[in-house]
Structure 1
Amino acid sequence: MVIQVLAIVLALGLLMFFAYRGFPVIVFAPIFTLLAVVISGVALMPSYTEVYMLNAANYVKNFFPIFLLGAIFGKMMELSGAASSIAQTIVKALGSKRAMLAVVLACSVLTYGGVSLFVVAFAVYPFAVAIFREADIPKRLIPGTIALGAFTYTMDALPGTPQIQNIIPTTYFGTDAYAAPLVGIAGALIVFIGGLWWLERRRKQAAANGEGYGTGHKNEPEVLENAKYPNIWISVLPLLLVLVFNFLLSRTSMSVTNWYSSSLLETFNIANVKTVSSSWALIIALCIGVVAAGCINIRQVKGKMAAGLTAAAMGSLLAIFNTASEVGFGNVVKTLPGFKSIQEWIMNISDHPLISEALSVNILAGVTGSASGGLSIALEVMGKSYLSMAQTLGISPEMLHRIASMASGGMDTLPHNGAVITLLAITGLTHKQSYKDIFAITCLKTIAVFTLAIVLSIF
């Protein structure tokens, strides 16, 4: 049994190492999956075609529309100038005296409105540079500031956020994007206040040491002071439409759960409409948002539409197939003999489903370097067990949803995380210069979710 457990640990370690080195997960996830299968003495080809590929394909079937539409929506917001308009307005309104708060809020508004994390980083970075330079704040603090606004509470804590990390649990627990709103808001406040405290502390330390914005930086953007962007109220309209329609189609009489009869759904093998209704609601909301964003500046968008849609489609394909590869990996691992010992170890750390769930999701998100990947693996493997334990203890599935979603945004941002690597590349900075602040935000996110899980387990 020791060898079989080591086979899984070795496969996970190699996947993490190669991902950190920049090798494609799509290629190496199946290789290390099959390595664990061979060492464990399990049938090789059936494990690949009937477990790995089947579950990877099922993940693509469930979530590809959201990945694709989310990428297109973000691209339309970028091409129309709406994303830049929102960022510029917030930054100018708060001014250089509140430079960090301005950047965090700009990122938060865009991310909570459904714009992808990568588009947010590109859109906000030029304005962050301008305001940090004006306030003479070290440029090395920009990545941590953007990470706080885009990679944390608006991604997985605030109720209704259309980011994929908040949608994945709905498939396993029959919940919707607004699950456990008070818990989510409490977690968001902990991260928001704690994160700003940390960043402000770092700013004051730099000022005391006489460190300013600095010179000789890479990837310094040219900010056009007189650039004309769409009106701010028109620019935020697509974001509001996504949020409003997502809510209307999830929690009102307009809910998609009421659109079709049970007999009709049975012909499509849908036993419980709640497992798909959140995805349906978000798909429709994003379609409305895409049309609205494209109409903001039709002339400008029209000339760049072909290239923009191609870039969005390619980006969404890479993102979902990376995650699907990790999901396939997780589903093969759970069939291996050694996994039972690992599962028992995780479960035995705490007999409370919220704490155990937070632990398993955090570990797997950290190992894979992906919030959505770690979350999907954990829930595929242990979601039913957590749901059964919660029902026995009288815990709402909504609590499981919110804790799982927030836990995925804990240790996911380790150095090999794709979003972290991309953010540093955009800003022209290195891990050595800026990762310390991103890691502090990562630790804060993790502490917040475990604090909530422990408090909820007591009460």
Structure 2
Amino acid sequence: MAVLGIFLALGLLMFMAYRGYPVILFAPVFALLAAALSGLPLLPTYTELFMVKAVDYIKLFFPIFLLGAIFGKVMDDSGAARSIAQGLTKRFGRQQAILAVVLTCAVLTYGGVSLFVVAFAVYPFAAAMFREADIPKRLIPASIALGSFTFSMDALPGSPQIQNVIPTTYFHTTTFAAPVIGTFGGVMVAAAGLWWLYRRKNRLLAQGEGYGNHTLNEPEIREGEKLPPVWLSIIPLLLVLGGNALFTYVVLPGWYPESLLKQYEGLSIDKVLGIWSLIVALVIGIAFAIGLQWFYRKADGEAGSDVNTTSGIGLSETLTAGAVGSLLAIMNTASEVGFGNVIASLPGFKAVSEFLLTMKTSPLISEALSINILAGITGSASGGMSIALDTMGAKYLAWANSVGIDPELLHRVASMSAGGMDTLPHNGAVITLLAICGLTHRQSYPDIFAITIIKTLAVPVVILVALLTGLV
């Protein structure tokens, strides 16, 4: 009954999310349903587990959501996003908007920019590019997901994303583990994903579907506007990307002396370095983009332009819109985190974990299945992988050593598996992405799910190639 309760709660949550019902409301409802079927008391589970974990997540990541939303809005209102969109459209051609969006997301994600920040920053000019090329808007979320939630996040060696960092602790590897196999897997996922998206685009266009008439979170069309040049518009993105790396590896590690940090109980620079670096980098990027907005608003005013990009948009409106937009995103994701932690605390969840560990197969296959299933249940790549490796990481390492499998393969398979079935309909990143794009599960999730299946099926191919060739 306990295991049945977990899958019942998961199924109901996915169904409600897909139908457009608020996860903020139904995540705790179905988490408590699973808890009740396992015999746990409802009110203590809600206030002392669900809410505590949700609030912990908000405490840690709210600055990133807030600044990321503001960054994306400033990039839009400054005209920088549309300038980049026009430049990329000219560079790749109108019909290559999908490729331009995927590559842009991949560069930002591989450079260390948070997945949520990438979605906030890329969407405005992705929408502009798709609209200009008259490509169905419903394909934007899947394009962003392919570029930021898949190969650049966990397959390519050296990715600084958390999904590629977590396994280093358990398998004593580095983020560059299994570079040949990781690169092979990343290229395969990227190629298959692009094939699917272009196939879908051509089919929808043949049916007469274009960009469509959309009003929610839609970048405004402004004719005759004076836009910043492309090279200048890219600078805020580069500042976030480069600033994140600079503050992570050079500035912040020695910025505060240990004697100063001791007054904050439990504070370790290693735990907050990534968050602090992104906060500072985003502030710098926002400041530069605000400067662009001010300069080009002033330039338009001096030129006497009747219709322009920024003269009608004040800084207060830009900041308010960005701040308000961040609230729904953070609350949706926090509710998912609370749901996942309630599920992970149930006896039935432990039974599932033990079953996966006792499977009689290769450690790579067992690991891939375990992490995929746990990531799917929790709706979180990093959460599912952390739970799986906390309980089974040492055993997988011993198992791999006993049969002569390089721990680097364990690392790469773990990372790629975490980014597979985690993107089910109740996944916080999926819900946030759809909210940013102003679309529903019904409109866009089928293509996101296709990308998810491609990513999931790539893992057994990677395992097979690794075992047959001995490549790492």
TM-score by length of 2: 0.75
Q: 1:290 aligns with which of 275, 279, 286?
A: 286
Q: Is the 8 A contact 1:108 1:154 kept in 2?
A: yes
What residue is the counterpart of 1:314 in the other structure?
324
Q: 1:248 aligns with which of 238, 246, 249?
A: 246
Query: Relative to 1, partners in 2 of residues 1:33 and 1:109: Cα closer, same or farther, differing over 3 Å?
Result: same
How big is the alpha-carbon RMSD for the aligned residues of Structure 1 and Structure 2?
4.1
Query: Relative to 1, partners in 2 of residues 1:267 and 1:84: Cα closer, same or farther, differing over 3 Å?
Result: same
Q: Is the 8 A contact 1:362 1:411 kept in 2?
A: yes
Q: Does 1:125 align with 2:138?
A: no
Instruction: Tell me which amino acid in the other structure corresponds to 2:122.
Output: V
Query: Relative to 1, partners in 2 of residues 1:305 and 1:116: Cα closer, same or farther, differing over 3 Å?
Result: farther
Name the % identity. 47
Separation (CA, whole Å) in 2 of partners of 1:62 and 1:400: 29
What residue is the counterpart of 1:333 in the other structure?
343
Q: Does 1:275 align with 2:265?
A: no
Q: Does 1:418 align with 2:431?
A: yes
The Cα shift of 1:341 comes to 0.6
Q: 2:353 aligns with which of 340, 343, 348?
A: 343
Query: Relative to 1, partners in 2 of residues 1:144 and 1:244: Cα closer, same or farther, differing over 3 Å?
Result: closer
The Cα shift of 1:92 comes to 0.7
1:247-304 per-position Cα deviation (integer Å, ceiling 9, x unaligned): 22233xx252333344544442347532222222222222221212221221546843
Separation (CA, whole Å) in 2 of partners of 1:110 and 1:227: 27
Separation (CA, whole Å) in 1 of partners of 2:42 and 2:137: 50
The Cα shift of 1:237 comes to 0.8
Separation (CA, whole Å) in 1 of partners of 2:329 and 2:30: 19
The Cα shift of 1:124 comes to 1.7
Q: Does 1:44 align with 2:39?
A: no
What residue is the counterpart of 1:237 in the other structure?
235
Separation (CA, whole Å) in 1 of partners of 2:127 and 2:241: 24
Q: How does 1:3-402 map to 2 (within 5 A)?
A: 3-96=1-94, 98=96, 100-106=98-104, 108=106, 114=113, 115-132=117-134, 144-145=142-143, 147-149=145-147, 151-154=149-152, 157=155, 166-167=161-162, 179-180=175-176, 182=179, 185-200=183-198, 211=206, 217-219=212-214, 227-251=225-249, 254-270=250-266, 272-298=268-294, 300=297, 303-349=313-359, 358-363=368-373, 365-366=375-376, 373-379=379-385, 381-389=387-395
Separation (CA, whole Å) in 1 of partners of 2:283 and 2:464: 39
Separation (CA, whole Å) in 1 of partners of 2:256 and 2:419: 34
Separation (CA, whole Å) in 2 of partners of 1:131 and 1:78: 18
Separation (CA, whole Å) in 2 of partners of 1:50 and 1:339: 19
**Contiguous gaps of at least 5 residues in structure 1:** none
Query: Relative to 1, partners in 2 of residues 1:63 and 1:147: Cα closer, same or farther, differing over 3 Å?
Result: closer
1:366-400 per-position Cα deviation (integer Å, ceiling 9, x unaligned): 456xxxx4125424533423554466568999987
* Equivalent residues, number: 436
Query: Relative to 1, partners in 2 of residues 1:170 and 1:103: Cα closer, same or farther, differing over 3 Å?
Result: closer
Separation (CA, whole Å) in 2 of partners of 1:19 and 1:107: 25
Separation (CA, whole Å) in 2 of partners of 1:359 and 1:249: 36
1:62-115 per-position Cα deviation (integer Å, ceiling 9, x unaligned): 222222222222122111111221121011112246454345435555666744
Instruction: Tell me which amino acid in the other structure corresponds to 1:418.
Output: I
The Cα shift of 1:439 comes to 3.6
1:21-51 per-position Cα deviation (integer Å, ceiling 9, x unaligned): 2221121222222222222112333222222
1:144-188 per-position Cα deviation (integer Å, ceiling 9, x unaligned): 5555345544455557878xxx3477589679xx93384665443
1:185-240 per-position Cα deviation (integer Å, ceiling 9, x unaligned): 54432222222334455667789xxx375579434998667543211111111111
Query: Relative to 1, partners in 2 of residues 1:378 and 1:151: Cα closer, same or farther, differing over 3 Å?
Result: closer
Separation (CA, whole Å) in 1 of partners of 2:211 and 2:190: 31
Q: Is the 8 A contact 1:354 1:453 kept in 2?
A: yes
Separation (CA, whole Å) in 2 of partners of 1:452 and 1:397: 15
Separation (CA, whole Å) in 1 of partners of 2:74 and 2:158: 21
What residue is the counterpart of 2:451 in the other structure?
441
What residue is the counterpart of 2:303 in the other structure?
none
Q: Is the 8 A contact 2:329 2:435 kept in 1?
A: no
Separation (CA, whole Å) in 2 of partners of 1:350 and 1:286: 47
The Cα shift of 1:421 comes to 4.7
Instruction: Tell me which amino acid in the other structure corresponds to 2:282.
Output: L
Q: Is the 8 A contact 1:52 1:332 kept in 2?
A: yes
Instruction: Tell me which amino acid in the other structure corresponds to 1:83.
Output: A
Q: Is the 8 A contact 1:72 1:312 kept in 2?
A: yes
Instruction: Tell me which amino acid in the other structure corresponds to 1:378.
Output: G
Query: Relative to 1, partners in 2 of residues 1:314 and 1:403: Cα closer, same or farther, differing over 3 Å?
Result: farther
Separation (CA, whole Å) in 2 of partners of 1:261 and 1:390: 38
Q: Is the 8 A contact 1:179 1:398 kept in 2?
A: no
Separation (CA, whole Å) in 1 of partners of 2:207 and 2:2: 53
Query: Relative to 1, partners in 2 of residues 1:36 and 1:361: Cα closer, same or farther, differing over 3 Å?
Result: same
Separation (CA, whole Å) in 2 of partners of 1:402 and 1:79: 40
